[in-house]
Structure formats: structure tokens, C-alpha cells
Structure 1
Amino acid sequence: MKAQFASLKGDEFMSRQAISPAIGVTGIGVYTPSSIRTYQDTAMAVNMPEQWVLSRTGIHQRHVAGDQQATSDLAAAAAQAALASAGLSAEEIGLIVLGTTTPDEPCPATACRVQALLDARNAVALDVSGACSSWLFGVKVAQEWMASDTRVRHAVVIGSEVYSRFLDFSDRATSVLFGDGAAATVLSRVPDSEGFAPITLASDGTRADYACIPAGGSRHPASTGTLRGGAHYVHMDGRAARVFVNEIFPQLIEEALSSAGVESSKITAVVAHQPNPVLLRKAYANTGMPEDKLIVIGDRVGNLGAGSIPYALAQAVVEKRLRVGDKLLLLAFGAGLTWGSAVLTWSGATLRDPTRFRIGVPSQSTTE
């Protein structure tokens, strides 16, 4: 199936070129809302046994945004944590790139809302819409931007989602998977031995209907009909999504290692998008890489979309899995279809007060 994914050769060639200067992660932060939706809550909502939810997904709990919280609020909280991690003020940020599938509104860019909340008056703010691949797409934008504009010394790349506003809680294909949360990274120039190796990105729009929110745009604007039909909720072909993940996973690893010129034995941790723990572990098991290198967060937060990879990166930091110079494998895939991969050499960013930002720490329960 590899040839099926060999698209966008020109863009892929550009993505493989060496980046100078080196850009790496110098700060990291996360935010999850306090309310928790458990697998028992989920089972009750979809009228299925509790064990069915766990055996199909492996997700024990997810966080749920409060009534007054939007995607930008979660994103700003995560960005503030990342700035504290990097020891920077908001005024020192020259670029904010936000990846999300659940923006505050169609216009303006949710990144502009985040800029205002942070008071990052010197930053250019923009959104990227690559679904669950958005954070890595955003890193590529920031990487290229910083390489071409020396005035931008630091960028914040965020993945933030409030999926709970876009779920039909009786839909077994989607309501059991997605959670609310955000994670942010500060990108800065780092020594040449650190940072991101060339990032490979690709898309296949012929399969855009595998996962989508059909209404609310110019093709199907909001109407009483779209509301009655549930067209503003996430729709997903679960079987097609599973096939895609299993097919693309080994190719992503091969491309990342090849682009970076790194052997798999040199990889300290594998940080991938987290569709759900069951699917993730099955896809990873087929690669032959050691099981203990895979970072799994989906059991505690569910599918965070654009926030999954940076959140998993933060989890690796909390677990003290990373040291300066360690190499991580980053694997992204999502609706669009979109996918991408890269090797990141760690620069030593730490998470300030992880308990404050509730990485995997249950708070209170809510029902669906």
C-alpha cells in the first residue's frame, strides 16, 4: 500500500530539505479542564456495557470543557504554561500557530483570540487546519518562518480542541473517543545538534469524508435542516479510519528515520497521534519497535486531536523519559486525510508544576 500514499512529491521534496538554523522545543505546557467524563458515563450514554467501551477504545476518562470555556481559553492556558517552561514573556513571542478542528468561530482565526488572551502584542497569529496532524503542520510553518525571518526568535505552536461541543453522545463511532484539552510548545533556535530534522508532510483529499464535520461551512451553512440532521457533529467512518492508521503507521516511521538519517535503535521515545489506545498499540505492534518506547496518553484524556502529540510529548517529560540529545519519533495522521512525521532531538524543556495543569489527574465526574 505504500505507493498509495506517495503523493505531493514536490512538497515532500521541499519538506526534506535541511533547515538552518536548527529549531527545537524550548518550552512545553498543557491544560485540561477540571470536569471528567468516565468510561462508565460513556457506556451509559451509548447504551453499551462498560467493558465494551474499554475493550474497543482503552479510554478510561476524558476531560470536558466548562460551559464558558472555548478552544482559545484552553489554548491560552497551555501557552502560558509553555511560556513559563521556556522562561519567556508573551511579548517575546513573534509567532503563534494554532492547530484545531474546533475553532471558537469560523472567523477570525482562533489564534488571534489566543494572542489577545496572552497579550502577545508582537506576535503574528494564525490557524492551521490539518485536523489531528495540525500540530506538526504548525511546527513546519513555524520552522520555515523562523528560518526565513530572523526577527522571530520564538514561536508558540498549540494544539487545542473542545470536541464535546461537536459530538452526538449517542453515536458509538465518535462519542466514545474524543476529549477536550490543549498542549503548547515554544519553538526557538537551538544548537545544530538538536531540534527538528526535516519534516515530511502529505495529504489525500480524495478521502476527506472518512472523518468530517459536514455542516457549518459554505457548502452546508447552518440551517434548521442541518441542525435536525446532526450535521454539525463529528462524523467518522471508523473502519476506514482504522485501515488508514494501520497502513500509514509503518510508512511514517520509515520516512522519518530516512529523512533524519537515524536508525530505529537510536530512538528514545515514539510520540504519535492518539486516536485511541487500542488502535494505537495495534498499529505500533506491527512496526517491530520496542513496546516501552511508545508514549500512550489516550487512556487518560482520549483523542485530543491537534493536541494529542504535544500532550504526549509533555507526558514523556513528566515521566522523565527524555534527556538533552535524546531522539524522538513524531508521527501525525488525521482527517483530510493528512499525515506527517519527523525526528526531534530533545533540547531539555521541562514542564513547570505538572500537577497544576492536571496531566492525567482526575478531578470531578460529569455525565453525558
Structure 2
Amino acid sequence: MPRWQLTPTSPLSVGIALPDRVVTNEELCETLNTSPGWIERKTGIRERRYLSDGETITDLAEESARKAVRQAGLSMRDIDVLVVTCSSPEWVMPSLGVLLADRLGIETPRIVDITQHACASVVYAVYTASCLLQEPDVHNALVVCAEGPSRATDPTDRVVRVFFGDAAGATVLTKTPGSDGLLAYDLGNSPSPQVALAGTALLNRQDPADESAVTPYLTMDGPTVWQEATTRVPKSLAAVLDAAGVEIEDVAGFALHQANLRLIEHIAGSVGVDMAKVAVTVDTLGNTGGASPLTALWRLAGNGRAAAGDVIAVGAIGAGFMWGSLCFRLPYDIRVEA
């Protein structure tokens, strides 16, 4: 896949925002027909965060964005591009990106909403922002990924409900001097209905008496997801490192989609990566959808594996299926709040 041959871009900072409400496996098992031990054994997840009444996905998006811009040492007037991703917004219209720009005081007309890339959205968002940063007078982009899957999953579905948590992540990308920054990218897709969330147009035209009516909740076929993720993501990571001219042992850290811990461990083993180099947040945050690679990047930076001179790789797969990977050589330390 392509090596990045345009003006390099690189993340300056990462900010994350989490709801206050912590939901343990024990709490889930009060209403689900399963056990806390089974959930942790199968998924590696001990707890996750849920939005409470009165909290919104837009609130999380705003908080993460403010943290990222502050840590980057910039002001909102320095943001030239805003790319926002969310598969579970409160509103289909108006644009979450436009609402967020208004809250933050960002005046750029370059606002892009990515709404159907699900858990792969951060890879596509960073790629899109990097393309927009090629304009001569455009210097800084803010990418915000916010998700509230707790409100899109059936409270009685133990197969899906146990995995997901709510969160937002944001990163500031900037043009970089020299050749460091984004080295290569890999993107791919293969259509599949095995992870799906029906839209209002489909739901509203259903016959309520039809027993086969489409559910308003997120549906997921676990074995298909496992097969697709364990096949596509390792190949994508191998392709992006090859395009970047980077050996696996030269990568300081991996920020992967946090679907579940067992899946991450399997992907790391397939690629030949020591888990010590792989950031993990799924154990305490669950699968936070499109935000999850940014929570992993935040953890990498906090652990000192995203410093100037380091090579890092980002990889994700989402419903659709869509997948992708990015490889950076960092010209700066990625800054995060302690």
C-alpha cells in the first residue's frame, strides 16, 4: 500500500474524555445471563464507562478536544481542519462537527463528519485530516472520535452488551519539518452485514407486527468479527510497515482498536509483537468503538512509548467491514495529561 509522499503530518497531543459512571462486570450480570468471571475470561474486560442521564456524546467530544488542543500548546483559532467521527450521535442532523466547532470556537469551514466507519474511523479520520493539511496555508487539524455505544446496545443482549463502553478521544495533527511524521498508510474494505446498526429510515418503515422486524440495537456476529479482525488487521499492519520500510522490532508501540483483550493478544501474536509494546485500555474502558485507538495512543504516550524519534503504528477494523493502519515516525513527543 502507499508510502506517504506528501508533506508529512504527525500527532502533537492526545486528549480523552470518559463518563464518570463505572460499570463493572458484576453490575452487568445483575440483568444479563452470564457471570463476571466468564466476561473477564472471554474478553479481558473488567469494567467500562457508561454515559449517565444528562451526559451527552457531544459533551465527551468537547472535553477530549479541549484537552488535546491545550496539550498541543495551541488555541482554537489555530485549528484549520476539524474531522469528527461518531457512529452513535444524538442527531443525524445537524452535523456533530458543526455543533462541536461552535462550542469550541473553531471558525474553519473545513469540517468533515465521518459517520459510518465505526471502529475503523480514527484511521480514516487521520488519513483525511492529513490530506486536508496539504493545502499551503493549512497547518493544524483536530481529529475527534466520540462514541456512546451503551445507548445503542440491547441491555438484555449478553453477546454484545458486555463489550462496549463510552468515551471520546481527540488528537491534534500538524505539518512537520523534514521527513518524520506519517510514513505510510494502508486502507481496505469488504462489505458485510455481520455488524450492523439500523438507521431511522429502515426502522420507521417496518411493520411493528412483523416478528422478523429489524432491531434498533447494534447487532454483531462474534465469530465473523473474530475471523475478519484476526485476518485483516495483521495483514494491514504488515503492509503498512513494509511500505514505511520499518521492521517490526523497530516499532516502539502499537495503538490498536480495543475490541477485546483476547483479540488484541491474538493480533499481536500473529504479527510477532511483544504485548509489552501494545497499549491496552480495553480492560477498564471496554470497546469504545472509534475512540479506542486514541485511548490506546494516549496510553502509549503516558507509558513513554510515543516520544520523539519513536516509530508507532495504529491499526483498526470496524463494521462494514473497513480496516486500516498508519505508521508514524514521531518528530515530537505526543503530549497527554497525566
Q: TM-score, normalised by structure 2?
A: 0.94
Are 2:327 and 1:348 equivalent residues in the alignment? no
Q: 2:122 aligns with which of 135, 138, 161?
A: 135
1:314 aligned onto 2:301:
no
Match for 1:235 among 183, 208, 219? 219
Report what 2:13 is aligned to.
27
Q: Report deviation, 1:313.
A: 0.3
Distance 1:52 1:100 in 2: 30
Select between 51-60 and 185-194 the one with higher mean Cα deviation.
Answer: 185-194
Q: Does 1:194 align with 2:177?
A: no
The one-character-per-residue Cα deviations of 1:18-48 (angstroms, maximum 9, x if unpaired) are: 3321100012111001111111112222121
Q: Which residue of 2 aligns with 1:185?
A: 171
Letter of the structure 1 residue corresponding to residue 255 of structure 2: V
Match of 2:321 in 1: 337
Identity %: 26
CA distance in 1, matches of 2:173, 2:240: 20
Structure 2 CA distance for aligned equivalents of residues 298 and 328 of structure 1: 19
What displacement does 1:111 show?
1.2
Does 1:250 find its partner at 2:234?
yes
Q: Deviations for 1:87-137, whole angstroms, at most 9, x for unmatched residues? A: 111111111111111112111221111111111123522211311010110
Q: Which residue is equivalent to 1:219? A: 202
1:138-157 alignment to 2 at 5 Å?
138-147=125-134, 149-157=135-143
Larger mean Cα displacement after TM superposition, 227-236 or 61-70: 227-236
Contact 2:255 2:279 (8 Å CA) reproduced: yes
The answer to whether the Cα contact below 8 Å between 1:132 and 1:335 also exists between their aligned partners in 2 is yes
Report the equivalent of 1:81: 67
- Aligned pairs for 1:272-287 within 5 A: 272-287=256-271
For 2:105 and 2:141, locate their aligned partners in 1 and report how far apart those are by CA, in whole Å: 14
SS of corresponding position for 2:13: strand
Residues 258-314 of structure 1: CA deviation (Å, up to 9, x unaligned)? 110111111011111010112211232222222211111100100011101111100
Q: Secondary structure at the match of 1:329?
A: strand
Superposed displacement of residue 222, structure 1: 6.9
Residues 85, 245 of structure 1: alpha-carbon distance in 2 compared, 3 angstrom cutoff: same
Q: Give distance in 2, aligned partners of 1:306 and 1:164.
A: 14
Give the counterpart of 1:176 among 121, 146, 162: 162
8 A contact 1:86–1:186 mirrored in 2: yes
Say if 1:349 and 1:306 are closer, same or farther in 2 by CA, change over 3 A.
same
User: In structure 1, what is the Cα distance between the partners aligned to 2:74 and 2:149?
Assistant: 30
Shift of 1:339: 0.4
Task: Give the Cα separation in 2 of the matches to 1:230 and 1:74.
Answer: 29
* Offset from partner CA, 1:153-209 (integer Å, 9 cap, x none): 11101111011111111111210001000010001011234211121111112x1x1
Does residue 317 of structure 2 align to residue 328 of structure 1? no
Structure 2 CA distance for aligned equivalents of residues 233 and 351 of structure 1: 34
Unaligned runs of 5+ in 2: none
Deviations 1:223-243 (A, max 9, x none): 683999572211000111011
SS of corresponding position for 2:174: strand
8 Å contact 1:260–1:342 — kept in the other structure?
no
* Amino acid in the other structure paired with 2:4: A
C-alpha separation between the residues in 2 aligned to 1:63 and 1:255? 34
In the superposition, the TM-score normalised over structure 1's length comes to 0.87
What are the within-5 Å matches in structure 2 for residues 8-87 of structure 1? 16-87=2-73
Q: 1:336 to 1:35 in 2, by over 3 A?
A: same
5 Å-filtered alignment, 1:260-299, equals 260-299=244-283
C-alpha contact 2:9 2:181 (8 A) present in aligned 1:
yes
TM-aligned CA distance change 1:156 to 1:296, over 3 Å: same
Deviation at 1:336, TM superposition (A): 0.8
Deviates more, 1:323-332 or 1:285-294: 285-294
- Greater Cα offset, 268-277 or 226-235: 226-235
Which ranges of structure 1 fall in alignment gaps of 5 or more residues? 1-11, 355-368
Q: Secondary structure at the match of 1:44?
A: coil
Q: Please tell me the residue identity of whatever aligns with 1:61.
A: E
Q: How many residues align?
A: 335
Give 1:253 deviation, angstroms. 1.9
User: Given residue 130 of structure 2, which amino acid in structure 1 is its aligned partner?
Assistant: Q
Please tell me whether the aligned partners of residues 177 and 303 of structure 1 are also in contact (alpha carbons under 8 angstroms). Answer: yes
SS in 2 for 1:344: strand
